[in-house]
Structure 1
Amino acid sequence: MRRVMIWLGCGMFALVLLVVSGLLLADHLTPRATGAPSSALPLQPAQTPIDRELAPYLAAHPGETAATLLPDGLDAFAARAASARLAGRSLDLQYYMWHDDLVGHLLAREVYAAAERGVRVRLLLDDINTKGLDPALLALDAHPNIEVRLYNPFRNRRGAWRLLEMVQRFFSVNHRMHNKAWIADGRVALVGGRNIGDEYFDANRSVNFRDLDMLLLGPAVADASAIFDEFWNSPAAVPIEALNPQTPQTLQALVAQLTGEAALPGAQAYLQRVAASPSAQRLVNHEIPVHWSANIVVASDPPLKARSGDRDHWLVQRLSAHLVGGHSEVLLISPYFVPGKNGTATLARLAKAGTQVGVITNSLAANDVPAVHSGYERYRPKLLEGGVQLFEIRRHGPKLAQSLFGSSGASLHTKAFVIDGKRGFVGSFNLDPRSANLNTEMGVLFEDAGLAHNLREEYLWLAAPALSYQVEEDANGSVRWLDRTTQPPRVLDHEPDAGWWLRTITRAMSWLPIESQL
């Protein structure tokens, strides 16, 4: 027993030593940003196909940005693929995740093809999800027209050493870049909640995320380009070649793999679904309806948010300002929803003042991070008591929900809000402490009745009985869920579609002091 206690003591001492060394030395342990500064290439009147198509179109609406929402995964894929094929000058791509799967490979193939035409490609990825991707990323980086940088990267690229570094640098590694932007020729930008991966683009038949992007053409794209440049040139962005030696011969192997995979039945079936999508065709043929507005901006946290004591420039401050004052309606969509004491009080105060306040989030069964749900459930009674309407997305809904989501399982990934039918936000920002304080986030803020109407329609569609449970309090103050697909609604007295073990573990996690990390 004494020997066990000694070993436990040594283990605890080693762990404390690791954490303390990380606190004291984190900035010195972080890899240095050694990349040469670069910036978005200047716009030209008719240099590229995108220039020639959009310049006259935009000239008819001076000072205004054209914008449209892309809730459908096939449309969102088509927009990225089409803009990459039309690009002739630059592709600036900034993502939290780029998966090693079908969609990830198909879009990487489009990026490579653009680089082969002479397009300059800058790819900035957060490093927390790149484990095992170094060979493919290094192969792309070996192309003379492609440069890959990683945000807040690990020095150790694989195995136990990477895990050890995660423990040692926990307080610095914990700050991630959650931004998502796809910018072509400085003329077209897609900004929103989608990472690059099958589940975000309706290519995973077992489970798909309902997500949302905004397609922008015009002046607001310059905002996205400026944000990209700021991150690209920040001390947090490190060229991948500085972390791992390049092996140029792997480029041809990667190209052969991407080309071969695009011809496989699974890829062809997905591409045929994209081609058959009526809205995707309208998008490619420039027939998709857009809204023109001078009141559209792309906003972001600073790249070194973790080191900035000036919260005035944080995105959370800008978004919170929209809730100040009187409102008739505030509708929020957030897959991870942990409002905290202040957020709960703010929403309840609005509701008690006569504002219709509604929130759509994931049910426990649909949430892919149960720990986040544990943070949400402790505020659920107070929100309901304050008059806030709550809707939780069903994971396994009726056939209508399955066909709309394209899968047998569904999960919400949209992050947006719309206020008074006039203004709103679409982006990467979850209404939780991690987005507010730890990760960098970005998105589109707009004031336009047409866009607000479309976003409100998306909210109402998600809140419909086929896709969501409505959450209420009964006469005794207990939480209950209404399955409104039947009449009268079926009443459930526990988290729907979730087994007792998941419910028990989630409840136990709600007692832990981890809210700041959610």
Structure 2
Amino acid sequence: MMIWLGWGLFALVLLVTSGLLLADRLTPRATGTPSTALPPEPAQTPIDRELAPYLAAHPGETAATLLPDGLDAFAARAASARLAGRSLDLQYYMWHDDLVGHLLAREVYAAAERGVRVRLLLDDINTKGLDPALLALDAHPNIEVRLYNPFRNRRGVWRLLEMVQRFFSVNHRMHNKAWIADGRIALVGGRNIGDEYFDANRSVNFRDLDMLLLGPAVADASAIFDDFWNSSAAVPIEALNPQTPENLHRLVAALAHECADAAAQVYLDRVAASPSAQRLANRELSPHWSASITVASDPPLKTKAADRSGWLQPRLAAHLDGVHSEVLLISPYFVPGKQGTATLLGLARGGTRVGVVTNSLAANDVPAVHSGYERYRRQLLDGGVGLFEIRRRGPVATHGLFGSGASLHTKAFVIDGARGFVGSFNLDPRSANLNTEMGVLFDDASLARDLRQEYLRLAMPELSYQLRRGADGSPQWLDRSVQPPLVLEHEPEAGWWLRTITRLISWLPIESQL
């Protein structure tokens, strides 16, 4: 037995060592022809013509609207795809094989059929099993699909072995989310493409946030997309798997069939009935116009960039420097680390109101991340930082050590009711150091007011527990939905087994991976 264990350990070490020594040679080559965003024209497409008078009335300014509602976020993507006449540039960490994924894939295909150029860039870590559908889309002459940091091996045990061998390079993922139509409209924020992100799965209490942009700041998003699309980390899917063009016809037929069934119609009827979606369809939105809106991102080859000044984390951290009256943070995965904790405690000591909304253990799909957060919870409470944890509502996604599906998925902050950020960046080591992230930075009181209202809504008694320290120093959770508030001594709605596993994980030296 010991002999076999020894040989197994030797094989594992050999596999990982070969990956370290040969990492660059093992990574699939980027063979795609470079391309860039198609430049906007004054009146070439319906979007150009519709936006022209508004842009002329607000020279140099970008229109921005927060989209906290999933139905509105779906409607905005579907509407922009239908209006697009030039290009769709789509960049996502995940595109699920579910109802919303299929509905939006059909919109993308319909746009390509009209002659719209489509570039679809997906992170490869979540594309297992999707190759047939992605290859079918890629077979369309107007659609090109590329995968970020992909696996050579597309299925089975060989993919697993490659994950072990290339562990250190595979660990770096593209977490960006952007939907860009005609270089005029951009949707940037926390949403991947899937049912839970767009309120199509009503069994979970899922909360997320996008920002809809119209105008000059969209050029920032387009430039970011081009950097990633043309980087050595982006590989055409056709270079990884042979194409079978006839699959396109089967995919289109399957999408048409599913999009016409009862479940799809029920969802689309809900979208159509949404008051704000109706305002969007009727061009009755009232966005905020501002010259102080930018879209920012990490570089595509983030971990190979020795100079961190171009990374998103230092740019976000700089906003916390100085004296503030209020700093409100929303992060589903919140692992502040020693430096982040010191920063928040320093702000609180200086008189700043500091508040954080994050997931409770029961609402968090990643106990490993929650274990990292709970290490700092008592210290933050002692230092005067307000903590609110989102309640679990109904069934929650199956818990795993790593994954996605938490009830809260919004990543944002607002400072002094004047400026803020909405994007893909979690306040954890993975977002800071491993994954590429992007988002919208703004310095505008009207947008800040809306974002602050979203924070206050999430912190409401009906949606979250408020934390405090008990007499013995242990955290307590206040259920403020009843009067007087109910005081809970343990992680609410989380069984002893989940609490135990989370505590055991907290002893492991894995914080840098969270």
Q: TM-score, normalised by structure 2?
A: 0.97
- Work out which of the residue numbers 430, 443, 447 in structure 1 matches 2:443: 447
Partner AA of 1:14 in structure 2: A
Secondary structure at the aligned position of 2:206 is classed as strand
Note the 1:1-400 alignment, pairs <5 A.
Answer: 4-396=1-393
- Work out which of the residue numbers 477, 494, 499 in structure 2 matches 1:498: 494
Partner AA of 2:255 in structure 1: L
Secondary structure at the aligned position of 1:288 is classed as coil
- Rounded to whole Å, the distance in 1 between the matches of 2:512 and 2:24 is 22
Partner AA of 1:478 in structure 2: S
Cα drift, residue 487 of structure 1: 1.2
- Rounded to whole Å, the distance in 1 between the matches of 2:205 and 2:99 is 14
CA contact (8 A) 1:200 1:208 kept: no
- Rounded to whole Å, the distance in 1 between the matches of 2:393 and 2:139 is 44
CA contact (8 A) 2:71 2:274 kept: yes
Partner AA of 1:467 in structure 2: L
Partner AA of 1:354 in structure 2: G
- Rounded to whole Å, the distance in 1 between the matches of 2:310 and 2:434 is 14
Which range moved further: 130-139 or 206-215? 206-215
Q: CA RMSD in A?
A: 1.0
Q: TM-score, normalised by structure 1?
A: 0.97
CA contact (8 A) 1:395 1:410 kept: no
Q: Give the match for residue 398 of structure 2.
A: none
Give the share of equivalent positions with the same residue, in percent: 84
Per-residue deviation, residues 316-363 of structure 1 (Å, max 9, x unmatched): 000000000100000000000000011001101100110000000000
Cα drift, residue 208 of structure 1: 4.4
- Rounded to whole Å, the distance in 1 between the matches of 2:86 and 2:50 is 14
Secondary structure at the aligned position of 1:211 is classed as coil
- Rounded to whole Å, the distance in 1 between the matches of 2:62 and 2:86 is 21
- Rounded to whole Å, the distance in 2 between the matches of 1:284 and 1:439 is 35
Partner AA of 1:63 in structure 2: G
Partner AA of 1:428 in structure 2: S
Cα drift, residue 475 of structure 1: 2.6
Cα drift, residue 476 of structure 1: 2.4
- Work out which of the residue numbers 396, 410, 414 in structure 1 matches 2:410: 414
Per-residue deviation, residues 387-446 of structure 1 (Å, max 9, x unmatched): 10000000038xxxxxxxxxxx97000000000000000000000000000000000000
Q: Specify every segment of 5 or more residues in structure 2 that has no aligned partner in the other structure, as ranges.
A: 395-404
Q: Give the match for residue 511 of structure 2.
A: 515
Q: Give the match for residue 401 of structure 2.
A: none
Secondary structure at the aligned position of 1:194 is classed as coil
Aligned pair count reads 505
CA contact (8 A) 1:361 1:393 kept: yes
Secondary structure at the aligned position of 2:60 is classed as coil
Secondary structure at the aligned position of 1:125 is classed as strand
Per-residue deviation, residues 260-285 of structure 1 (Å, max 9, x unmatched): 10110000000000000001110121
Partner AA of 1:442 in structure 2: M
User: Hey, which bits of structure 1, 4+ residues long, moved more than 2 A?
Assistant: none
- Rounded to whole Å, the distance in 2 between the matches of 1:176 and 1:500 is 33
- Rounded to whole Å, the distance in 1 between the matches of 2:472 and 2:492 is 20
Secondary structure at the aligned position of 1:273 is classed as helix
Per-residue deviation, residues 229-287 of structure 1 (Å, max 9, x unmatched): 00000000000000000000000000000001011000000000000000111012121
CA contact (8 A) 2:364 2:406 kept: no
- Rounded to whole Å, the distance in 2 between the matches of 1:460 and 1:205 is 23
CA contact (8 A) 1:183 1:225 kept: yes
